[in-house]
Amino acid sequence: MGLELEASASIGVAIGDKLDTISDLLGRSEPKPLVFAVPASGVGGGAIRIGRPPAGKLWNILTVTVTGADDHTVTANVFASLYVDSDPLNLGLGQCLIPGLAVPSFTSISKGTSWAHGGGEVVANVVGSGVSASTAVNITLGVAEWHVKDVSQMSTR
């Protein structure tokens, strides 16, 4: 009788261990993004190409930092506007995400509200009466890069 109880107890433990292993394999933890900075710079006015997410990925734009020749000197009458999913050679107001950023400035964007897709580029358009051939502008985006499948929802239609 004691032998039967011992055998059933060890079988129960073995089955429990297998179920835990299967549960771990089948369970899916919440996806997490890769968070990093995307820097770009240019001299003079016009479009500064910042970049685009790789194929199959999305950028959730979280911060935009604009500086001039240094991190504290105001560059009078120079403004940068951020365009998302656009063509740097043909900027359209429909892609303007944030207009008229002063130099220097910092803008924080709510998580999950501003997305860049791989179909176009993220571009800063530098304009203003203070722009000269030697005007330096630096743009740094703080982005969270996601796999498209992790943030896209299937249509139920």
Print pLDDT tens along the chain (157 aa): 555 555 555 555 566 667 667 766 676 788 999 999 999 999 999 999 999 999 999 999 999 999 999 999 999 999 999 999 999 999 999 999 999 999 999 999 999 999 999 889 999 999 999 999 999 999 999 999 999 999 887 555 6
pLDDT of residue 152: 82
* Cis amide prior to 104 (ω within 30 degrees): yes
If one counts every other C-beta atom within 10 angstroms of the C-beta of residue 104, the result is: 18
CA distance 105 to 82: 13
Query: Do residues 24 and 94 lie in contact, with contact meaning Cβ atoms separated by under 8 Å?
Result: no
Query: Do residues 138 and 40 lie in contact, with contact meaning Cβ atoms separated by under 8 Å?
Result: yes
